[in-house]
Amino acid sequence: MHFWKMTAGGNDFILFDNRLSPPLNLSPSDINSLCRRRLSVGADGIILMEKSEQANIKMHYFNADGSSAPLCGNGVRCLARLAFEKKIARGKITIETGAGIIIAEHRGENISLKMLSPRKLELNVTLQLGDKVIEGHFIDVGAPFFLIPYQDIENCPVKELGPSLCRHSFFQSYGGSNVAFFKVMDRGSIRLRVYERGVEEETLSCGTGCLAVSLVAAALGLTEAPIICHTQGGTSIKVNFLYDGEKFSNPSIEGDAKLIYEGKIHPQALKA
């Protein structure tokens, strides 16, 4: 099982080229085992590069808990970087995801993605969580996000509220939601922290989360594109889009994607 380890802003992944025959058939237990930190390779998720009839390649993405997800922005950037390294395409590449086709472009050290327009946006959502009332905003950008404004962003309750909020009944039709706390720094920058469903912990970066919070902040009249999102890993993602006051169009994100190492999985890495 030849693999690549990659990262985008600290959001890290294990990638396999699954275009070969016979294809890998990883069970949820295998995925969970491989993603265990300190006991195996360790990652936030696993990405399979597959053949596509609609695009240059297809991405099949799995969270660390073994569940699949339709889209991961940082994961798409990493897959695009690997595809460029393997010379599958030059300059631009189309990638089929569970949410739709994403166009990736190589820009120096960065990868830029033409993303999908939001499918749903609901501002000023109030959720009851035990004896707490949580106010935030919901948006679906190919992945669902519940976004909570929080001024003391360095001390926000990511670990305390994230696990319960991501499985709130309000998000039942989505199988749960990612939960993010954000602070608008100025008209062109946002600080963001994200608890990712499926990873079940705070991640150092989240590309779709940066897109989600940027669109919500613009809809609230707090920011305007382009927006720089500062993530927990210390890196930033540039978000751009058009907004006419009612609808969003041409959303894009741009950030780093790095190859860390490659090798072969030993059978012991799959042992629980």
Helix (H, G, I), strand (E, B) or coil at 195: strand
**Cα→Cα distances 70→20, 67, 76, 180, Å:** 22, 10, 11, 18
Q: Under a CB-based contact definition with an 8 Å cutoff, are residues 24 and 17 in contact?
A: no
Q: Under a CB-based contact definition with an 8 Å cutoff, are residues 105 and 238 in contact?
A: no
For the question of residue 72 being annotated catalytic, the response is: yes
User: What gap in Å lies between CA 81 and CA 88, rounded to an integer?
Assistant: 10
User: What gap in Å lies between CA 236 and CA 174, rounded to an integer?
Assistant: 28
Structure-token match 């912990």, residue found: 201
The active-site residue out of 35, 72, 166, 229 is: 72
Smallest Cα–Cα separation from 195: which of 205, 187, 183?
205
Reading the block at residue 272, the tokens are 């629980």
Q: Under a CB-based contact definition with an 8 Å cutoff, are residues 238 and 226 in contact?
A: yes
Smallest Cα–Cα separation from 191: which of 177, 208, 205?
205
The active-site residue out of 156, 206, 210, 229 is: 206
Helix (H, G, I), strand (E, B) or coil at 241: strand
User: What gap in Å lies between CA 116 and CA 180, rounded to an integer?
Assistant: 19
Q: Under a CB-based contact definition with an 8 Å cutoff, are residues 48 and 90 in contact?
A: no
For the question of residue 206 being annotated catalytic, the response is: yes
Q: Report, as residue numbers or ranges, the catalytic residues.
A: 72, 206
